[in-house]
Every structure is written in C-alpha cells, then in structure tokens.
Amino acid sequence: MSKLVISTIGPASSVQDGGRHGAQRYGLTPSGAMDRLALAAANSLVGSPVLAAAIEIGPFGAAFTAREGAVRVALAGAPRNADISGRAVTSDTSVTLADGETLTLGFARGGSFSYLAIEGGIAGEPMFGSLAVNARAGLGSPYSRTLQAGDELQTAAASGATEHRIDLPPLSDGLIRVMMGPQDDEFGDAKELFLDSEWKISATSDRMGYRLEGPEIKHLHGHNIVTDGTVNGSIQVPGNGQPIVLMADRGTTGGYPKIATVVTADLGRFAQIPAGRGFHFKAVGMTEAQAEARKFWEMLRTLPDRVRAIENFDLNIEALQDANVAGAAVSAVDAGTWQVPSSADAQAHD
C-alpha cells in the first residue's frame, strides 16, 4: 500500500464519487461529484470505474505527497497550474509521484472544481454504496468531512503503467439549458425575465446550492408552496426573488417554487462556472433534454475509450508545429505518414 498525504488544501475539497442513491425518501441526499464528466475523465486515466471516488478539489490550491511508495494520479476538471518539483503537469493526463514527491496545484482558472483520481482508488468504507462526503449527515469515508492538511488517503502502489492522456470532446461554453418547471406556473412575466437576463453565481454558493445574482424574480402567489421533492439542478426561488440552483448536497425536499431545472447534460458545466462570471439560461423541451441526457451518459460511459498512451512522438508533433518545419513528405499532424501506430499502448485501458 502507498498513501497520498494532503500537504495543503483549501476549503470545499472532499472525497466524492457518483453519489449514494436510494435513501432520498429518508432525507439523505445523494451528494457526489459536482462535475461528473471531469470525475470520469480523471478516473478513466488511472483505469478506475468512471464514477469511482476521487478527490474533488475546490477553487483554491492544494498539494499532495506520495508516501510509503509511488502513487499514480490524474488531474481533470477546472484548469490550474500543476507541477511536481517544478516539472509542469498538464491537466487530463496521468502522472506518477515517486515516494516523497509532491504534486502542487494552483488556483482553479476558469472553473471551480478539479478532480484528482488515484490509481487503485481510495480505500474507505462505503456507506449506502458510496464514499462521497456529506458533511451535514456525517457521511463519507475515509473522512466524513472536507479534507484537511495532514489527512492521508490509503491507496494501491503505483502500477508503473506508462502515462496516459485523455482527449475530451470540446465543451460548449454557451448557454445553460433548463427545462421549465415543475412550478413555473407560480411565475408570470418573471419567466421571460429569468430566461432573458444575465445571471452570476454568488460567492456565497456551496455544494448545497448556487445562489444567483440578477433581477428579482417575483412570484404570482407568494413564495410558500407545500414542500415537495427536489433534484440536482432544481432552481428554486425564495421570498427575496434571488434564485438558488440546488446542487449535489441539496435538501431532498424544499418548500419554494421551482421555476426551472438545469438539464443533466449541462449540470457539470454549470457547476464549473466561477463566481461572478455572467451567463444565460435557455429553455429546452423534454425531447431535447432527454436526448442530450442520453448522449451525456453515453459519453461518460465511453470516456475510457478516449484514453491514449502518451508517446514521445506526440511531443514531437507539437515541437514540429511550433517550429513550423514540417516537411512535404511527412505531415506533422498525421502520425500515420511517419509512424506505425502501436495498438498495444492504446489498449492498455481496455
């Protein structure tokens, strides 16, 4: 066994996975990763199941040190500077920390959450099938709270596998799609205002809910409805007219009218919007939302197919492009013209 020691870490960082399901009827919220696609990308790089537990790292910096052996990790999600003893590490790649080496991460740039997956997973005791931290309910393992400096995560010793990268499909940087309802009939013209306005995420947001800053969304009949169930992405409007988007640690039920719901396919992208950056919503219908949800889950399921071994010639392509010296006989961007593809490495994660 090796372990990964948390040397430094900011708030809002915790072990998260696909979440715990089945006990919402008792008030237990699923929790789980805020950006499931980024979690899945990190896990795919180290050969773990896509929704296995990894470290969700909030907007601040962090440092992790391998102890009692080497540890192989992969970083995905919000871009940030990363290095091992001054050697730069790129996002969406795996990297092996030798015993005693430290991976240092800077602040998130243009996002909120990054995921550090560990080869061999994180040792812990699942509760309702999940290691995900839900600090309010005292759930999560190996720590039932956010991570702190000095915490240690037990893991497998690094396999010595070659390092890999994952080529993620480009994310739309555009509108956040919502389906109206289930209580959009509690709002009149405010529905248009909601869809037409620019919104910003308040700095007081957390894993339970993102508070939105923008125009006041007025109710037709007051803000108290009878409590009913919530989902990830429910947009409820309390008495002050400032919407709150319910996120992974949401209450399972709530008593404010819900004007709309963020679609599954855009929830992770929404979770990554940094506080203070403007964005717009766009209403879509059920058919489009469900088609996009199916595409999302299919993409998540097949992320491991996008993992490739990092080979030296990849670096050569960049070098050639940078130097602008690609010759006529060899295409720098088409490896097939100068390199016999190796299938062995590409299958390392099959």
Partner 1 sequence: MAATLSPPRLLPSGDSAITVEFSRNIDDVANQRVLALDRTLARETIAGVTEAVPTYRSLLVHYDPVQIDFDTLGEKLLILTQLPAPPAATTRRWRIPVVYGGEHGIDLEDVAKALNTTPDDIVARHVAGNYRVAMIGFTPGWSYLSGLPDSLRMPRRPNPRLLTPAGTISIGGVQAGVQCLAAPSGWHLLGRTAVKTYQLHRDPIFLLEPGDAVTFTAVDAKTFAEQDRAAERGEIVAELIPT
Helices first, then strands: H and E counts in the chain = 6, 22
Q: CA 196 → CA 171, 174, 227, 239, 249, distances in Å?
A: 23, 14, 28, 21, 28
The number of residues that bind partner 1 (CB under 8 A) is 44
Distance CA 62, CA 106 (A): 7
Sign of CA dihedral 22, 129, 54, 43: negative
Q: What is the DSSP string of 169-197?
A: PPPP-SPEEEEE-SSGGG-STHHHHHHHS
Confirm or reject binding of residue 283 to partner 1 (CB under 8 A).
no
Phi, psi dihedrals of residue 246, rounded to the nearest 5°? -75, 130
Tell me: does residue 292 bind partner 1 (CB under 8 A): yes
Query: What phi and psi values does residue 234 have, to the nearest 5 degrees?
Result: -60, 130
Q: By C-alpha distance, which of 7, 62, 58 is closest to 33?
A: 58
Choosing from 4, 40, 262, 309, the residue that interacts with partner 1 (CB under 8 A) is 262
Residue choice 88, 226, 340, 344 for contact with partner 1 (CB under 8 A): 226
Does 282 participate in binding partner 1 (rule CB under 8 A)? no
- Could you give the CA distance from residue 21 to residue 30 in angstroms, rounded to a whole number? 5
**How far is the C-alpha of 250 from the C-alpha of 261, rounded, in Å?**
13
Question: What character string, x for contact with partner 1 (CB under 8 A) and - otherwise, covers 95-114?
Answer: --------------------
The contact mask relative to partner 1 for 54-93 (x = CB under 8 A, - = no) is: ----------------------------------------
3 state DSSP class of 94? strand
Instruction: Answer yes or no: are the C-beta atoms of 55 and 153 closer than 8 Å.
Output: yes
* Residue of the chain from 113, 264, 303, 306 that contacts partner 1 (CB under 8 A): 264
By CB under 8 A, tell whether 227 contacts partner 1: yes
Distance CA(78)–CA(118), nearest Å, equals 17
Stretch that binds partner 1, among 26-34, 68-76, 159-167, 194-202 (CB under 8 A): 26-34
Residue 139 interacting with partner 1 (CB under 8 A) = yes
Q: Enumerate residues 171-200 that contact partner 1 by CB under 8 A.
A: 179, 181-183
Query: Which listed residue (233, 243, 268, 304) binds partner 1 by CB under 8 A?
Result: 233
Closest CB to partner 1 among 247 and 262? 262
DSSP annotation of 343: H
Residue 24 engages partner 1 in binding (rule: CB under 8 A) = yes
Residues 145-174 that bind partner 1 (CB under 8 A): none
| Interface pattern 296-315 for partner 1 (x via CB under 8 A) | -xx-----------------
In the complex with partner 1, which residue's Cβ is closer, 162 or 240? 240
**Residue 263 near partner 1 by CB under 8 A:** yes
Which stretches of the chain bind partner 1, using CB under 8 A?
21-28, 127, 136-139, 179, 181-183, 224-231, 233-234, 251-254, 258, 261-264, 286, 289-290, 292-294, 297-298
